[in-house]
Structure 1
Amino acid sequence: MIWGKVIGALAGYLFLRIPGAILGALIGHWFDRGMAEDFTRKGGFGQFLFRAGTAAEDATFLYTLFAVMGHLAKAKGRVTERDIAQASALMDRLKLSGDARTEAQSAFREGKHDTFPLQQVVREFKQAFYGNRDVLQLFMEQLMALALNDGVLDKAEHEVLINVGKTLGFTKFQIDQWLMMQKAAFRFNQRQQQQRQGRTQNASRSADDVQDAYEILGVSAHQSDAEIKKAYRKLMAQHHPDKLASKGLPEEVMKQAQERAQDIQAAYETIKQKRGMR
């Protein structure tokens, strides 16, 4: 928090010029520290604040994610038990408990209301992260993964994703391309899981695996090895933990992004084996 120091310095300057500004900034610093300590004691999303210098971005990301998730679930007309279980599973993966979990549930319910101001909330989210496209893209990927959790994308869900994406500054073409990549990742992971459970034949690399691997990277089979490697490196750079940490994202959310990086790595290894790439 810095507003105590800013306001204190300005007020002090008006009365005593430079000496007053210094004194005001000092008093404001004590005020900021007191507010921060009080906020972290409150629990809820406040427990994510003031960690590693991230300010309020952590809480903003989590609130917006669960609120829009609730709106996405209601878009189909009725929130199902599967939708609720999916939200709870995400809270488990993010290790939300106590007040933090209660606030996530509240955000999810808020998003379900017919009067939920979707565009306003998304615009404020964009402003909170200064329009950083890596963060905004990660947010979209999180929503898409949630929408595709059952392997099916409802028309109403698609419209919400397009609406949110455009508000964040992305084109319909970009959003549909990311959806294609997410759908391919869903199919790819489903087959891998079935193979591990012995429910399907564990072939070296099936044609379906290879096709989905290309789609996960957003490339096609007719592209060169160099183009595929370039696409792979770009995607891995976007999902690198160190890079995401510098954007002010919660550690819990970065763990989810790492799962996406694992999908990208697995897809690239599949293509490398198929093509004999080094």
Structure 2
Amino acid sequence: MSIWTRISDAISALTAGESLSAVFEKLRAAPDMSVAFTIAVIALGAKMAKADGQVTRDEVTAFKEVFHIAPKDEPQAARVFNLARQDVAGFEDYARSIKRMYGEDDAPLCDLMEGLFHIAMADGVYHPQENEFLRDVADAFGFDERRFVRIRAQFVPDAQRDPYDVLGVDATAPMDVVRAAWRRLVRETHPDQLTARGLPEEAIKLAQARLVAVNEAWEQITQERQSETA
């Protein structure tokens, strides 16, 4: 049974009048969290597109980069997307339901935020409305400002990307603390860890962007500190 068939079954199980956010409540105990993760990315992506005011071809392509959607499965993906866009429930309801679904395990929430950033940057422009939307989602997930900035730094080409933001450490942190943060982030990006967190196989490639940013930040900090002591 494909993931899209399982998604269709989950959507069909909603009773009349239930919001799409109820799916996340129903899937809290599901052994296969990849279904919930996929629905969450599409649903919040749809809400973000609505906040932005338009859905571009690049954003549609970005969805297909996050998830391998065969032509026969596109109607199911479109159904989730349209349900979310038309749902009277706000994205805050979705985000809070997703937070409850994962409980204390916030690693999948980071993965989800990265998927949303990937979609937001698909057209090459990071819109203020998208930043506001993603910041509010991060707040609902319980992320502090540092974690939000760290995830954003992996995707948004700011005028000057702070490598310490990427690693989530202070610029004054000792080198052993910086090294520990770098190693932890690299370890969390291992495919086995991502699979254990319930990411669909197709979405694991999103971690490549994280790993590149993390390694570049480590290399930059290492070179800067070596030059300071030379």
TM-score, shorter chain, exceeding 0.5: yes
Structure 2, unpaired ranges of 5+: 10-29
Could you tell me how far 1:174 is from its partner in structure 2? Answer: 4.1
- In the alignment, does 2:44 pair up with 1:74? no
| Residues 268 and 260 (structure 1), Cα distance of their counterparts in 2 relative to 1, 3 Å cut | same
- Counterpart of 2:157 in 1: which secondary structure? helix
Match of 2:95 among 108, 122, 125: 122
Superposed CA RMSD in Å reads 3.2
Match of 2:84 among 96, 108, 111: 111
| Residues 218 and 142 (structure 1), Cα distance of their counterparts in 2 relative to 1, 3 Å cut | same
Which residue number corresponds to residue 181 of structure 2? 231
Map 1:150-169 → 2, pairs under 5 A:
150-154=124-128, 156-169=129-142
Which residue number corresponds to residue 150 of structure 2? 178
Bigger relative contact order, structure 1 or 2, given CA contacts below 8 A and separation 6+?
2
Q: Normalised by the size of structure 2, how large is the TM-score?
A: 0.72
Q: Deviations for 1:245-273, whole angstroms, at most 9, x for unmatched residues?
A: 22222111222123312221222123323
Rounded to whole Å, the distance in 1 between the matches of 2:97 and 2:87 is: 19
Which residue number corresponds to residue 39 of structure 2? 63
Matched-pair identity in %: 24
Could you tell me how far 1:161 is from its partner in structure 2? Answer: 2.0
- Equivalent pairs, count: 206
Structure 1, unpaired ranges of 5+: 1-39, 192-207
Could you tell me how far 1:233 is from its partner in structure 2? Answer: 1.7
| Residues 89 and 167 (structure 1), Cα distance of their counterparts in 2 relative to 1, 3 Å cut | closer
Q: Deviations for 1:153-205, whole angstroms, at most 9, x for unmatched residues?
A: 31x3233223322332334x2454235523xx5428xx9xxxxxxxxxxxxxx
Q: Is the 8 A contact 2:51 2:133 kept in 1?
A: yes
Match of 1:247 among 183, 197, 204: 197
| Residues 72 and 167 (structure 1), Cα distance of their counterparts in 2 relative to 1, 3 Å cut | same
Matched letter for residue 89 of structure 1 = A
Runs of 4+ residues over 4 Å off in structure 1: none
- Counterpart of 1:110 in 2: which secondary structure? helix
Which protein is bigger by CA-based radius of gyration? Answer: 1
